[in-house]
Chains A and B, each alone.
Chain A
Amino acid sequence: MSFTFSRCFIIFSSKKHEVGNVVSKVSFFHNLKCVLQYRSLVALALIILFVPILSEAQSLTGTSGLFHIPTARTQVDKSLIIGLHQLPPQYSLYGRGIHNNRYGYATITFLPRVELMFRYTNMMGVEKFPDRGPFMDRMVAFRLLVLRETRILPAILFGIHDPVSPKSYEQDKYFGANYIVLTKALKFDNIIFDTSIGYALDLPYQKTQVYEGVFGGFSLSMEEYQWLELMLEYDSNRWNTAAKVRILNRVQIMAGLMEFKRPAGGISYRFQF
């Protein structure tokens, strides 16, 4: 992994590079294909790796969660997280099936049990005319922690993403999600097994789009190395896997494979007031 990233760094600064032999060149290109596709994200991640700051666990949607699914975890009170993520077009209604989604977001723990998010999504690669620019979409999300986790009971959370007013029902709505999710942490020796299971449903005038029905997943981390998390989840449509690295409890770098095929990920930074 470190060799791959260091070679990526050289590639960013020049388009040419040399490797030892043809076989190495072919395998090198094959391995680096996904990294080169997201080289701007990777470069940003490398830069921030060496900046001593702190962060926490966001999912691809920008809210607290595993990779693509939400969990019943919320950030510490008075946290503000800003991030930049990218999602392949096959997994977003906003990509028309052909355009990557890249989005910036800000998520705030407004109260200890209330998390709010604002997200601005860009449809990548849309042909630009002189009088037109890239297509952008705004969305907000609201999450309420109904029950805190206890020794026996799981945490329970209700969330709603991209709500629209009844008057504009389903117009410009691409990221709708309404769900209840339960999360419980289990500890075996020094391994922490954080499991979540949830259900997404339609609400009056609020159709759920990103998740439909049951979803769930878990993350694995070691007590001594909680900065690294490995995840496996089912987001009601497909199985995904990912890893998260947290640096100094401020920066989070996440990368994974949607459907075990297509890479997605991003980076975020946490401010604590």
Chain B
Amino acid sequence: MKFETKYHKQIRENIKTILWLNSNMQSSHWGRVLFIVLLFLGSFHIKNVAAQGVQTGSNQTETELLVAELTSIGFENIAVRSTESDLTIAYENRVYRSQHRALSEVLKTIAQSDVTADSLHVLMLYREQPMSQVSTSLADLRAMVAGEISYQQWQQGSRFTMEHDRSLEALRGVERVQRTRFRPEIPIGLGMRYQLGNYNNPYRFAFDLQPELRVPLPYGVTANFRLAIPLYNDFDNNFDRNTKIRPSLIALTYERRLYDGIYASATTGIFTRNRRGWHAMLKTFLWEEVFSITLNGGQTLFTDLTGEPFFRSFEERDFHFYTASADYRWRRYDLNIRAQYGKYLYEDTGLRVDVHRHFGDALFGFFFMDTRFGNNYGFNFSLPFPQRKSLKAGPVRIRTATHFPVVYHYEGQNFRARIHETGITMDQVLMEFYPSYLRKEMERWF
């Protein structure tokens, strides 16, 4: 009876959310569009909620109790297969800002449950796609959580890997609980455009609030719709359109794990930097997360739906792009080195080298480029927003974005080796699931 009551309460809260959104979003054209989409999707979710997870009675097995506990925390796409010797669990995290924190919570929940097995395999998902896996002895995990052995001792006997064919096979046919499909979330981020160093005006900034509607659809497809709501602008406020609420990104993205270590993504829609078109990416890991190769390609046309660019006469044309890059991950320091060559946006051809390192949940790096248009270099960083845990799964989850990215080019206002945002996130997100990174970062939670 406990879970029936909880879900009915959830539906009541969901309706309150929808009514609140209705009262706050009707003032702008794009706000009304967003509201109608949410209402449509909310109806799918209410149907899903009513259809799943209504557990009653006192005859639940330990496995069912574990699943119920994981769903109550807010994890989604949960699948569990229990045999005499093995326990295989898959989950997706949209609750915690960091994947390592989510994994630690899952492991603690499992350790504190009454399930029995010799081996435990925990498979981490992203947009329903398997990313990384932790395999360990359940007894060792319980000993570590209880403080009988140290985290270092436990992780030495455990396996963190990006190979998960066997776990996927074990979970074949198992129904997922608390699915993410049609359960949208609205991360609210901050966008910044700026210029430093112009002697006429050394600090010029434009800040936009960027709520994004992200709707997971079946088979690894995600629909993204992001608005830019101007907060402050003394950078490009001479363009009237850039001072109004406008779309920032509208994309339909397909991301999928093809085989162990091979990921593919494709997207179409309206992208940043006033582009629209399509983009495809293929990423192959040759040796765990240490060596990988990424191929990118796409075609873009101009659009002014997302704002007015500085150099419209140059940008108002079609550009196609294709690049190949090789990545090396220095696991000891969570350092990534990428060498990328090809044709970038704006028909610039040449080499770009990026070096960045994870500093916990933050990321700092620098880059250098040598292309047809000239040399340039700069640095970038991505700082995590303070909200470490968002609300549990509901029809619409509103939260802050996970990070605030900033890029600095030594020479701005040019078209050298420019890249744009297209909705494909797999390339960046995969780094949060790298086994070596998870292994190191999880220690602080135990």
Contacts and interface: CB of A to CB of B under 8 A. Distances in A.
Contacts of B375: 165
Contact of B364 (A110, A122, A136, A138): A110
Given A136-B196, A273-B362, 12 more contacts: A108-B364, A110-B357, A111-B333, A118-B408, A132-B199, A133-B199, A133-B200, A133-B201, A134-B202, A136-B199, A138-B196, A138-B410
A108 B366 CA distance: 12
Nearest to B365: A110
Contacts of B408: 118
A189 interface: no
B409 to A, nearest CB: 11
Contacts of A108: 364
A200 to B, nearest CB: 24
A120 to B, nearest CB: 7
B49 to A, nearest CB: 39
Given A111-B333, A111-B335, A138 B362 contact: no
Interface in B348-386: 357, 359-360, 362, 364, 366, 375, 379
The 4 closest A-B pairs by CB, nearest first: A273-B359, A136-B202, A273-B360, A78-B359
A132 B364 contact: no
Interface string A105-119: 000101100001010
Contacts of A118: 379, 408
Contacts of B335: 111
Interface of A: 78, 80, 108, 110-111, 116, 118, 120, 122, 131-136, 138, 165, 273
23 contacts: A78-B359, A78-B360, A80-B359, A108-B364, A110-B364, A111-B335, A118-B379, A118-B408, A122-B202, A131-B200, A132-B199, A133-B199, A133-B200, A133-B201, A133-B202, A135-B199, A136-B199, A136-B202, A138-B196, A138-B197, A138-B410, A273-B359, A273-B362
A137 to B, nearest CB: 8
Contacts of B201: 133
A131 B335 CA distance: 44
A118 B409 CA distance: 12
A78 B360 CA distance: 9
Contacts of A111: 333, 335, 357
User: Taking each of B357, B360, B375, B408, which has the highest tally of chain A beta carbons within 10 Å of its own beta carbon?
Assistant: B357
Interface in B179-207: 196-197, 199-202
User: Taking each of B201, B359, B364, which has the highest tally of chain A beta carbons within 10 Å of its own beta carbon?
Assistant: B359
A116 B360 contact: no
B375 to A, nearest CB: 7
A134 B200 CA distance: 8
A189 B248 CA distance: 64
Contacts of A80: 359, 364
